[in-house]
Amino acid sequence: MPVPAWLAAVPEEEWRHWLEDMPSHLADSGQAERLYTLLTTHDFPQAKVEIVGVEQLIADYVLAKKLEAISENSALQRIADALRASIVRLKQAPEELWNQVKGRADVALRATI
């Protein structure tokens, strides 16, 4: 995985801690919009799934839902649903994150049309 510039600025031994704590820090400080941006920006979810794991990434989307940053039909909800449906594949091949999300979100979107 190429390391995003924002993560490369943090010492490597702190990557896991940073990736684990940033979503809850944003939630605790009431920054729902920043949490939404973090969870919809390609680099953060990809780094988190590769370094920390898909289950913890799913927990971030649950946290966003509790903050009501996710509506039932929002992009975050579609991503969270796709992650849940892809969990086995993502444990085997975390680099497939966005392929899995795109494919599953497209199917879900077509089902609602």
- Report, in this order, helix, strand and coil percent for the chain, each rounded to 5: 80, 0, 20
Q: How many residues does the chain have?
A: 113
pLDDT by residue (tens digit) across 39-65?
988 899 999 999 999 999 999 998 988
Return the residue matching tokens 């975390």.
Answer: 94
pLDDT by residue (tens digit) across 58-105?
999 989 888 775 565 578 888 899 999 999 999 999 999 989 988 887
Query: From CA 27, how far away is CA 11, in angstroms rounded?
Result: 24
Going from N- to C-terminal start, the domains of the chain cover 12-112
Q: Which pLDDT value is given to residue 70?
A: 57
